[in-house]
Amino acid sequence: MRRIVIAGNWKMHKTQADSLAFLNGFLPQLETTPEQREVILCSPFTALTSLSKTLHGSRAMVGAQNIHWETSGAYTGEVSGEMLTELGVRYVIVGHSERRQYFGETDKTVNLRLKAAQASGLTPILCVGETKEQRDAGETETHVVGQIEKALAGVDQSKLIIAYEPIWAIGTGDTCASDEANRVCWLIRSQLANKDVPIQYGGSVKPGNVDEIMAQPDIDGALVGGASLEAETFARIVNYVS
Ligand code: PEP
C-alpha cells in the first residue's frame, strides 16, 4: 500500500500569530481524518517553532520550504538541515517552481538539497513540472523525466515524496485534468527504482476538485498552495471523499 500525503505550502504567508489562529480552526477537523493520510503544513521559517510546538502529538507534521546543502558556513539567508530538525521539522519542499523561477534553483542545486535533506533525517518533497510553453510544444514528458533524472542522481528513494506540479496550473485556478495529471504521475513512477514513492499532484487543488484528483490510481496525495491558507478549506481537502 502506498502512503497518502496531503501537504499545504503556505509560501510567504502567515505570521506566527496567523499560523496559530489557523491551527485553532484546523486541528479539530483532523479528528475524523482517516489514519493513513499524512498531513503536513509547510510554513515560512519564522512560524516553524510555534507550529512544531502546537502540533506536537497531533496528526499534522511540520515541513519547511527550503534547505541549504551545506551543514553550516557563509551562506547568508540560508538554513541547514540541522537547524530545521532541531525545531521538529520532518519534511522540506525542494525545487518548487517558484524557487526555480525567482531564485535561480537548478537541477544541480535541487539534487544537492535533496541529499542534504535526507542526510539530516528530513523527508524531501521534490517538485517537478512543465511550463505552459513546454506543454503546448508537447514537451511535458521529456521535461519532467529529465528533471526527475537529474534531481534524483544518487538520491535515496526510500525517504522521498515527489510532487508533480504543472507550472501553468500553480496559483492560476487552472487545474490540470485529473487523467492528464495521473498520466504524468504514472510516467514519473515508471522512472523510479522504488515504485512506492508517494507522488502528489499540485496545481490549484481545491475542495471542488480534490475528490476527483485523489480518485486517480497514480496520484497519492496533493501539494496545496492557496487553498491551504484557510482552515476550513484545507480541512475539506485533507478530508477528501474517497
Ligand atoms: C504550490 O504552491 O505548490 C501550489 C500548488 O499552489 P496552488 O495550490 O495555489 O496552485
Compute the distance from residue 170 Cα to the ligand 1 centre, in Å.
5
User: Any idea which fold 4-238 has?
Assistant: TIM Barrel (3.20.20)
Domain spans in the chain, listed from the N-terminal domain onward: 4-238
- As annotated, the active-site residues are 96, 165
Residue ranges around ligand 1 (CB below 6 Å): 9, 11, 165, 170-171, 202-205, 223-227
pLDDT digit string (tens) for 102-112?
999 999 999 99
Angle, helix 140-151 to helix 107-119, in steps of 10 degrees: 40
Compute the distance from residue 11 Cα to the ligand 1 centre, in Å.
9
pLDDT digit string (tens) for 17-38?
999 999 999 999 999 999 999 9
Of 41 and 1, the structure prediction assigns the larger pLDDT to 41
Q: Check the annotation: does 81 bind a ligand.
A: no
pLDDT at 156: 97
Q: Check the annotation: does 11 bind a ligand.
A: yes
